C-alpha cells in the first residue's frame, strides 16, 4: 500500500439523479490521520458525497482514489474491505440483536468461514471467534458501553444507539471512518461524550475521520479541516478559522439569493 499522499482523493466527481445535479465537479482530499468535516445547508449534497465515497452511488463523472489506487467503481462490500467504514444519518442497527452481536457484525468481513468447523465450534473456528470477541471487547471498553453489552440494541436510548453504531464501524478496523451526522438529535451531554469518543478514535487508534455535522460548535472544535458544500458545489475548503471567515460560506448559510 502506498503510504505517501492523501488517504482519499475525490477528483471532479459529479453525481446526477435524472436532471438533478446532486454533486457538481467536486474535488477534495482527505489526508491521513485528520478529522475532516463536511458541512453545508440542507440538500447541499453532503450525504451524497459520503455515499459516493462508500461506493453506494457511482459518480457520473470524475475519479476516486483511495490510498493512491483508483477505485471509482467499487461496490460497498469491496469498499468496506479496503478499510472504509461508516455510520448512518438514521441509526441502522439490528434492533432485536444484542449490542455485542451488533458490533460482531462489524467483524464479518474479517471472518474466514468453514461451515463444518463453525458448526462444531472447534479448532480454528473457536480461536477465530475468541480473537474477534477480544477485538470487540476492546471497542466496548474504548467506547464505555460495558453496561449495555447484552441489551437488545432497539431498547437503547438514541444517544447510545449512535454510540453502538460507531462501535460497529470501528469493529471493521477501518482506515477511514465516515460519520453521517454522528450527533444529530443528541443533547449537550451526549454530544460532548461523542466528541470525546471521536477525538479518541482519531488520536488513539489513528483512524482518519470524515464527518457530516450540523452543529457548528462541534465542527469548529474537533475538525482539522472543513469542506463546505452548497448546491452540490464545493465553495470552501480550509481550517475551521479560514472557513468561518469565508464570504461564500457566510452567504450560503445566511441565505443570499442565488443567480
Partner 1 sequence: MTTIEAGLDTFPKLVRSNAERRPHKIAIREKDLGIWQAYTWRQYFERARRIALGLAALGFARGDKAAIIGDNRPELYWAVAATQALGGVPVPLYQDSIEKELAYIVDHAEARFAVVEDQEQVDKLLHIRAQCPRLESIVYDDSRGMRAYSDPCLISLAELEERGDKLAVGQPGYFDAELARGSADDVAIICYTSGTTGSPKGTMLTHRNMIVMGRNAIEREGLRHDEEVLAYLPMAWVGDHIFSYAQSVLTGFTVNCPESAATVLHDLKEIGPTYFFAPPRIWENLLTNVMIRVEDAARPKRALVHFFLGVAQALERARLHGRTPSAWRRLLHPLGQALVYGPLRDNLGMRRIRVAYTAGEAIGPEIFVFFRSLGINVKQLYGMTESSALVAIQPNGDVRLDTVGTPLPGVEIRISEQGEVLYRSPGVFVGYFKNTEATRQTLEDGWVRSGDAGFIDAAGHLKIIDRARDVSRLAGGTIFAPKYLENKLKFSPYVKEAVCLGQDRPFVTALVNIDLAAVGNWAERRGIAYTSYTDLSQRAEVYDLIEHEVRRVNASLLDDDVLKGARIRKFLILHKELDPDDEEITRTRKVRRGFIAQKYAALIEALYGDGDRVQVQAQVTYEDGRTGTVRADVKIRDVALRATAAGEASL
Q: Which of 144, 155, 157, 245 binds partner 1 (CB under 8 A)?
A: 144
Give the Å distances, CA to CA, from 82 to 8, 74, 75, 207, 209.
12, 10, 11, 14, 15
The DSSP symbol for 256 reads P
In the list 200, 241, 250, 256, the residue contacting partner 1 (rule: CB under 8 A) is 200
Interface with partner 1 includes 221 (CB under 8 A)? no
Question: Which is closer to partner 1, CB of 148 or CB of 226?
Answer: 148
User: Is position 187 an interface residue for partner 1 (rule: CB under 8 A)?
Assistant: no
**Reduced 3-state DSSP string for 212-246:** ECCCHHHHHHHCCEEEEEECCEEEEEECHHHHHHC
Choose the binding region for partner 1 from 120-128, 145-153, 155-163, 245-253 (rule: CB under 8 A). 145-153
The alpha-helical segments, DSSP class H, found in 32-157 are 46-53, 76-82, 99-105, 115-120, 124-142
Q: In angstroms, what is the minimal distance from the CB of 103 to partner 1?
A: 12
- Residue from the set 140, 183, 211, 228 that interacts with partner 1 by CB under 8 A: 140
In the bound state with partner 1, the residue whose beta carbon lies nearer, of 142 and 253, is 142
Shortest spacing between CB 67 and partner 1, in angstroms: 24
Torsion over CA of 99, 105, 111 and 115, rounded to 10 degrees? 100
CB-based contact 13:61 (threshold 8 Å): yes
Site string for partner 1, 75-114 (x = CB under 8 A): ----------------------------------------
User: Smallest distance from the beta carbon of 140 to partner 1, in angstroms?
Assistant: 7
Interaction between residue 137 and partner 1 (CB under 8 A): yes
Is the CB of 201 or the CB of 219 nearer to partner 1?
201
257: exposed, middle or buried (Cβ count in 10 Å: 0-12, 13-18, 19+): exposed
Interaction of residue 138 with partner 1, rule CB under 8 A:
yes
d(CA 208, CA 67): 12
Q: How far is the CB of 228 from partner 1 (least distance, A)?
A: 28
> Applying CB under 8 A, does 131 fall inside the site for partner 1?
no
Residues that bind partner 1 (rule: CB under 8 A) add up to a total of 15
Q: Quote the least distance from Cβ 146 to partner 1, whole Å.
A: 5
Q: Binding of partner 1 at residue 166 (CB under 8 A)?
A: no
Distances (CA, A) of 185 to 64, 86, 160, 182: 31, 18, 12, 9
- Please report which helix (H) or strand (E) contains residue 61, including its range: strand 61-66
Dihedral sign (CA 185, 186, 187, 188): negative
List residues near partner 1 by CB under 8 A: 133-134, 137-138, 140-142, 144, 146-147, 149, 196, 200, 203-204
Amino acid at each position: 500500500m502506498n503510504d505517501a499522499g492523501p488517504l482519499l482523493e475525490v477528483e471532479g466527481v459529479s453525481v446526477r439523479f435524472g436532471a438533478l445535479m446532486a454533486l457538481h465537479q467536486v474535488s477534495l482530499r482527505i489526508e491521513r490521520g485528520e478529522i475532516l468535516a463536511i458541512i453545508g445547508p440542507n440538500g447541499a449534497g453532503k450525504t451524497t458525497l459520503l455515499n459516493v465515497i462508500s461506493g453506494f452511488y457511482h459518480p457520473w463523472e470524475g475519479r476516486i482514489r483511495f490510498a493512491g489506487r483508483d477505485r471509482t467503481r467499487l461496490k460497498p462490500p469491496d469498499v468496506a474491505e479496503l478499510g472504509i467504514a461508516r455510520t448512518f444519518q438514521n441509526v441502522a442497527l439490528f434492533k432485536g440483536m444484542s449490542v455485542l452481536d451488533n458490533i460482531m457484525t462489524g467483524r464479518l468481513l474479517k471472518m474466514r468461514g468453514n461451515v463444518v468447523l463453525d458448526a462444531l465450534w472447534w479448532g480454528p473456528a473457536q480461536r477465530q471467534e475468541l480473537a474477534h470477541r477480544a477485538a470487540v471487547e476492546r471497542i466496548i471498553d474504548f467506547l464505555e458501553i460495558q453496561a449495555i453489552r447484552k441489551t437488545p440494541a432497539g431498547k437503547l436510548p438514541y444517544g447510545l444507539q449512535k454510540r453502538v453504531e460507531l462501535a460497529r464501524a470501528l469493529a471493521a478496523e477501518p482506515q477511514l471512518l465516515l460519520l453521517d451526522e454522528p450527533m444529530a438529535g443528541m443533547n449537550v451531554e451526549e454530544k460532548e461524550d461523542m466528541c470525546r469518543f471521536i477525538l479518541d478514535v482519531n488520536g488513539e487508534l489513528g483512524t482518519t475521520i470524515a464527518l457530516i455535522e450540523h452543529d457548528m460548535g462541534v465542527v469548529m472544535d474537533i475538525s482539522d479541516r472543513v469542506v463546505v458544500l452548497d448546491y452540490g458545489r464545493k465553495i470552501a475548503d480550509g481550517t475551521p478559522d479560514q472557513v468561518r471567515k469565508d464570504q461564500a460560506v457566510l452567504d450560503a448559510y445566511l441565505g443570499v439569493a442565488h443567480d
